[in-house]
Structure 1
Amino acid sequence: MDSYQNVFVMRHGDRLDNFNRHWAATAARPWDPPVSQNGLVRAFQTGQRIRSQTGSPIHRVFVSPFFRCVHTASEVVAALSAPKDLSKLVKVGIEYGFCEMMNSMAIWPEVSPIDGKFDFNISDLEAMFPEGMVDHNVDPIYKE
């Protein structure tokens, strides 16, 4: 019996700061923008396409702890879960190992945290998914 896994890799949706350059000036976390409304719509549509066109069930979603990534993943998971509740099947893990390089080359220097601390609030990020969907049994590659 052959056994295999399908892996889908995607980037986050359209960042709000790419459409509103002034967003960072008033943001508490200017290095961690949300996704634009258009990006959220596209993320949901991507989840719908994956669900309808692949023929393979999605069991796991791993996501970087940047807000834009979790924001995107929450829309993809919502689309994957529709029309039935797959929260018992689709499990989400937030993985620091998927972060882009956290330095002034990858994060715009004018918005990078001066102290170099990105201070992700994992419990707030986990709350963006339906209850029971985040898998706390996954051993992350990077602990922080």
Structure 2
Amino acid sequence: MRQRRWIEQLKDYDLTISYHPGKANKVADALSRKSGKKTTLASLSARPCLQETVKLNQDRNPEPTKLKGQVESGKSQDLQIDDKRVLWMKGRLCVPDSGNFRQEILSEAHKSKFSFHPGSTKNVQRS
């Protein structure tokens, strides 16, 4: 279950994990030895890509741009704009209907090796 939680946390990030065969992996040997100096042997960089992609689609689509204007003028109570200028409705990300972007998100969520269905009873309990 711990692995599933980590997978759930990391699925929205664009990661690359590289394998180095035994003899070529000098970093592993260096990690097993003590040293008086602090040295950075490797670094990991991850960035969320779904929210950035949604923001780009919101900026390109006229409907979310119009809704952002309503929020800024105080005409909409259900919508919010966060500090990165991303549009949210009642705490949920607003995904614009542009091209097949929604379909890509749904297929990623359903066809991914990391997705699972908790069962009908859990879904009923959550709602």
- Alignment TM class, shorter chain as reference: under 0.3
Q: Please, what TM-score do these two structures have when normalized by structure 1?
A: 0.25
TM-score, L = length of structure 2 = 0.27
Q: Going by fraction, where is helix more abundant, 1 or 2? A: 2
| Larger RCO: 1 or 2 (CA < 8 Å, sep 6+) | 1
